[in-house]
Amino acid sequence: MRSRLACLLAAAFTFTSASAADPLPAAAPKSVGMSAERLARIGEMLRADIDKGRLPGAVIAVARRGKLVYFQAFGYLDKDAGTKMTTDAIFSIASMTKPMVAVGALELYEHGLLQIDDPVSKYLPQFGKQQVAVLNTNSGAGYDTVAAARQPTIMDLLRHTSGIIYGGRGATPVHKLYPASSSSAALEMTGGEFIGKLASLPLLHQPGAVWDYGFGLDVAGQVIERVSGQPLGQYLSAQLWQPLGMKDTGFGVPPEKANRYARAFANDPDTGKPQFVLDLSRPLKFECGGGCAASTAADYLRFAQMLLNGGQLGGKRVLGRKTVDYMLSNQLAPGVVNLIGNADPTRADMGFGLGVAVQTTPGIVRTAGSVGTFSWPGAYGTNWWADPKEQLAVVFMAQTPGPIRWHYRYVINALVNQAIVD
């Protein structure tokens, strides 16, 4: 079965790679309704923080109306070595992997090889008998179990309503059973061991009841491997990264590109505590769809622009327009408990589509933007968003894994949006 599906995909996807010095055609900010003087405030802020030792370096790319208006590097690629940051720097992007895996799953959906409402167990049978935990301090284990009202579906994986949670994001007895994060899982176990582990554990919530951050996209990545018959990175390279000319995106940083790999400070600049960023110059035990890719600002801007364009870029169509509309629509029904603010306070009060947060109201949310703005950041300091109403795409790359990453998500959002003048 796997080989037949692999052959179908190989025949269906035939793209050639695109490349350019800039990720998108460049234009003067004024020509697309932005102020160059106001955009300059971004550099003023970043240089001041670099001088203070709060930030090693960063790359930011801004596009409006399909035109690149700002693409700058600041500070250091590696502060200890004194290496200056460059616009082609490669970053560990953590959970910015998730939206790309969601697109990969939707490509299978468009070929009739995967249905959004299918139970996960259709593709990974180990998940067919999971129970749901009910926390109970009187129990010896700290919880009892009940039958799941229904099985988790592919939709649940893509919108974080499966009940399969990150162990490092809570202190309940159930959290303690789970691996801490995508990166820790990929360093400690193979894909088969990972799936076996998760399938043996109780869900924290009934499927579909609660948005709670977890391993959904990692499991979705394993589903993609099972359906396509290919390793996740090979599949995404052929179906997404190569068609979009994302030449520096992958589940690893090869030796010939190591001199472009950005490094975080060894210790948090505010707390002095050691910091962790997944080192993708070393092999993983499996290619985790939840947080194990590396990329550049240029590559990810092309990905964001493809979604803004309704699934195509530079003559290469990745997804159909209506599929993109579906991905970028809020998929949390009334009554679903939304804990998104626990995962990222800068996305508090947003809804969630398939792999991305979605702004559903003009106010209430914590950052400037329009209804329909979509995004999802990375734990090591990287961030991006796209605003369809303003035809705006922004990628901010930095290796700042500590609490300071929230600061830059707020500040960069404000500084980019204040530069829109028309």
Q: Which of 209, 227, 203 is nearest to 124 (CA)?
A: 227
Reported as type and span, the H/E element at residue 64 is strand 57-64
What mean pLDDT do residues 331-352 have?
Answer: 97
Q: Which two tokens stand for residue 51?
A: 């001088």
Give the chain's mean pLDDT. 94
- Torsions phi, psi of 161, nearest 5? -120, 25
* Per-residue model confidence as pLDDT tens digits over 302-331: 999 999 999 999 999 999 999 999 999 999
CA end-to-end span of the chain, whole Å? Answer: 54
Q: Which residues pair with 274 in a beta bridge?
A: 267
Give the Cα separation of 129 and 147 in Å (integer).
Answer: 9
* Per-residue model confidence as pLDDT tens digits over 198-240: 999 999 999 999 999 999 999 999 999 999 999 999 999 999 9
Let me know: does 391 contact 308? Beta carbons within 8 Å: yes
**H runs (alpha helix) in 312-390:** 321-327, 340-343
- Cα separation values, 134 from 137, 148, 173, 383, Å: 10, 11, 10, 35
The 3-state secondary structure of 131-159, one letter per residue: EEEEECCCCCCCEEEEECCCCCEHHHHHH
What mean pLDDT do residues 126-147 have?
Answer: 90
Give the Cα separation of 419 and 41 in Å (integer).
Answer: 9
Q: Which two tokens stand for residue 63?
A: 């596009």
Domain ranges across the chain: 2-106+230-417, 114-225
**H runs (alpha helix) in 296-403:** 297-308, 321-327, 340-343
Give the Cα separation of 53 and 269 in Å (integer).
Answer: 7
Percent of the chain with pLDDT over 70: 95
Give the Cα separation of 386 and 418 in Å (integer).
Answer: 15
Q: What SS3 state is found at 78?
A: strand
- Cα separation values, 341 from 91, 183, 254, 366, 379, Å: 25, 21, 35, 10, 14
* Per-residue model confidence as pLDDT tens digits over 234-260: 999 999 999 999 999 999 999 999 999
Pick from 7-21, 81-95, 171-185, 302-316: least confident: 7-21
Let me know: does 393 contact 19? Beta carbons within 8 Å: no
Q: 159: buried, middle or exposed (CB in 10 Å: 19+, 13-18, 0-12)?
A: buried
Which amino acid makes up residue 95? S
Q: Which of 353, 349, 420, 352 is nearest to 389 (CA)?
A: 420
What's the pLDDT at 7?
52
The CATH classification number of 2-106+230-417 equals 3.40.710.10
